[in-house]
Amino acid sequence: MGNGVPADFFETKLSEAKIHFERALDCKHTEFDDLYPYMIEHPQFFWYKRYVAWSELLTIVKLCEQLGEEWQEQFSQQQVDYIQKRVMSSKVLDYWFETNDSKEHVS
């Protein structure tokens, strides 16, 4: 890119957002825990933490699309489908790591 942004900038940001979302799905420590340590005591915390990570991932994907940067190669086809639908449904939460590519999980 000729605008001073390193060539791998978006690839790195996308990878970081994916890792952040996956750690949130697994209820592992993320940057969010450091920002809001008091929320761990509240039951809605994990839902909110996942929502924040999902929003971050969608934002990076949207930027990649607007700038013509490739983003799909870091994800399985099933994950790409989830991202393109943009809604963090129970299927996303339950089957993000699923290796079974049957259509029943994607529809």
Residue 27 lies in a domain: yes
Say what the pLDDT of residue 36 is: 74
Residue 64 lies in a domain: yes
Element (H, E) at 93: helix 90-95
Residue 89 lies in a domain: yes
Residue 3 lies in a domain: no
Say what the pLDDT of residue 45 is: 80
Residue pLDDT tens, the chain, 107 long: 456 778 799 999 999 999 999 999 988 888 877 777 777 777 778 888 899 999 999 999 999 999 999 999 999 999 999 999 999 888 898 999 975 544 443 33
Say what the pLDDT of residue 98 is: 75
Residue 5 lies in a domain: no
Q: Which has the closest alpha carbon to 101: 73, 74, 82?
A: 82
- How far from 18 is each of 24, 35, 42, 102, CA to CA, in Å? 10, 19, 25, 22
**Residue 28 belongs to what domain range?**
10-106
Residue 65 lies in a domain: yes
- Alpha-carbon distance of 77 to 96, in angstroms, equals 11
Residue 38 lies in a domain: yes
Task: Indicate the number of domains in the chain.
Answer: 1
